[in-house]
Amino acid sequence: MLWRLALLVLFGMFLAWYEPSQDQVSVPPPAREAAPPVLSEDQFRERTEQCDESSRDAFRREQPKATPDSGDGSITANYRSHYAAKLDTCFFLLTVDRSGTLSKKLYDADTRELYGEYLGGVAIESPLTSQPKTCRVESLFCASEREWDVLVTPYLRD
């Protein structure tokens, strides 16, 4: 037992004395964020118009799936588009209300990548008493429609 303690002390002294040389230490280069594209007003307007058009097309494709004809008029669907210049991405928010059940999905309008989804009850002037069935934006989970709206806000504004 005593020899183990002595060995441990010697090892600790070695670590305190030893300094690796600069060529042995690899320091990763600092991470650089890709700068958003610098757009003129005309380019920004053009990309916003393209975003609106691709979102309108996506809504036309998704609407028959989202709103099957039930005949009772209890299903409504709408969309919102936004070109995020900082991310150089067109976002498409599809909202479907089916008789008190609200579904929201946030997509990249061009690649159709799903960024977030919400499925739960519709709150009418009072907070919901139950948890939504699905509530997430990318890798973040949420517990209410209000939290989902907060998580989605950075994608829908600059």
Taking residue 109's Cβ as centre, other Cβ atoms within 10 Å add up to 25
DSSP for residue 155 = G
Contacts of 43 (CB under 8 A, 6+ apart): none
More confident residue, 1 or 89: 89
Query: Residue 112 has what pLDDT?
Result: 87
What is the C-alpha to C-alpha distance for residues 50 and 39, in angstroms, rounded to an integer?
A: 14
Query: Residue 98 has what pLDDT?
Result: 84
* Owner of token pair 């579904």: 103
pLDDT digits (tens, 9 = 90+) for 58-103: 888 877 665 555 555 578 889 999 999 888 899 999 999 887 789 9
- Dihedral over Cα of 149, 150, 153, 154: its sign: negative
More confident residue, 72 or 3: 3
**What's the whole-model pTM score?**
0.66
Half-sphere exposure of 144 (CA within 13 A, CB side): 9
Query: Residue 65 has what pLDDT?
Result: 61
Contacts of 113 (CB under 8 A, 6+ apart): 107
Dihedrals phi, psi of 146, to nearest 5 degrees: -60, -45
pLDDT digits (tens, 9 = 90+) for 103-142: 999 999 888 899 999 999 766 544 545 788 999 999 999 9
Query: Residue 125 has what pLDDT?
Result: 46
Contacts of 154 (CB under 8 A, 6+ apart): none
